[in-house]
Each structure stands twice: as C-alpha cells, then as structure tokens.
Amino acid sequence: MAASRVVLILGAGPRVGASVAEKFASNGYKVAIASRSGTGAKNTNGYLSLKADFTKPETIPGVFDAVKAEFNTSPAVVIYNAAALTPPPDKDSTLSIPVEAFTSDLNINTVSPYVAAQQTVSAWESLPKDTKKTFIYTGNILNLNVVPVPLMLTLGVGKSASAYWVGVSDATYSAKGYRFFYADERNGEGGSKGMALSGPAHADFFAQLADHEGNIPWLATFVEGKGYVKFE
C-alpha cells in the first residue's frame, strides 16, 4: 500500500468511528475524521480532525478541500458514518415529526452522504488508476425491514434512500474500479444488532472492503467474527 493513501471518516463517533480510524491508521493510512467537535488540526492520535455539520450538505466540499490541502492527495477511502433520528412529539403518531426535523435528518442520513459521494468520485479522478477506491456507507437493516415504530421513521427513510443510490453507484462505477458499499452489521441469525453494534467488527470489515477482497456485493451484510454473510 502506498504510504500516501488517505481515509476520510465522516461522522467519527466514539464507537464505530473511533474503531475504524484506529484500524486504518494501523494499516498505514493517513486518517482524517470529521464531526461536530472537529478542531481543524491534528489530534493526539495524529488524525486530521475537521469540523462538519452534516445537516448542511453545502459544507461537505470544504471537508474534502481541507483533506487535500493537508495531505496533498485525495482520500482513496471515504466512510460515511453519521446518522440521525428525531423522536415524534407524540410518541404514538409517526407523522407528528415536524417537517423541519424530517428535513434535517434527511440531510444527515441521505443528502450529505450523497454530496460526499459526488465529491469522492471527483476526487478519485486525481488518484493513480491502480489505487483501490472505496466509499462505505454505514447502514442497518431498515433499508429492507419496515419497523412499525414512529421513533424509527426518519432514520429508516434516510437509510432506505441511501441504500438505493449506493447500489446504483456501485453498479455504474464498478467498471472504473470504484466500489460503493452499504455496510450492515447483523447478528448471527440475520437480525438487527440495534444498539449492540461492534466498533471493532466494523473496523475489520471496512478494512476488508477497502482492499476489495472477497468479491463482496454492494449490500454488504456482515457478522462479527465472520465478515460478509449473505442473508437476503
């Protein structure tokens, strides 16, 4: 692997984001993370920490500009790990969620990652052809299962919409060597992990996806300790 290979993690939380950053750094990547608490400088781990507001898709290009300015190269791997949901004011009424909150969550779950994917494809044009190029969206089972719980509405809408454009992107760009994955951790029976997600399992699987190992499809369902497992 070239020493200059860069990973950009959009949505660098304390569980999945932190584990993924540590894994890629240990694999020799230069790491940039973006979150609401970003500082605009390198942190104690040596990662470039950037401030980002995923409710505002128009700010995403600036994150890519900052990565290029710092490392003098574009990210070969981009991981979108931000997510949001809004509890309905009336817990029994799905459609009581204000449209402003619905729109804000849709920006975080769908529009900002879409803009990030646009920026990624443009950035990849400047990288050597033999560099493996990978976009990973941290998904869940909601793109396939409608959960009749009002709390899950905006998250489910966003994950479902993003799964579609991720799948189309992988199909239409794979001839150029660009891979797009909707990564979804499951339990051993194929059910949702819910809040029991494993950061290290994500890290190991994402590193495999970044190397394009195993001919894994865009709908990349995986199980801790096993890697890719086909459920649908």
Of 223, 212, 229, the closest CA to residue 77 belongs to 212
- The answer to whether residue 30 is catalytic is no
Of 30, 145, 155, the closest CA to residue 82 belongs to 155
Compute how many other C-beta atoms are within 10 angstroms of the C-beta atom of residue 165. 16
- Quick one: tokens of 204? 């190991």
- In whole angstroms, give the CA distance from residue 210 to residue 179: 9
Indicate the SS3 state at residue 2: coil
Enumerate residues 6+ apart whose C-beta is below 8 A from 137: 79, 80, 113, 162, 163, 166, 180, 181, 182, 183
Phi, psi of 113 (to 5 degrees): -65, -30
The active-site residue out of 30, 51, 159, 226 is 159
Task: Supply the angle between the helices 112-124 and 60-71 in degrees, to the nearest 10.
Answer: 40
Q: Using alpha carbons only, how large is the chain's radius of gyration in Å?
A: 17
- List the catalytic residues: 159
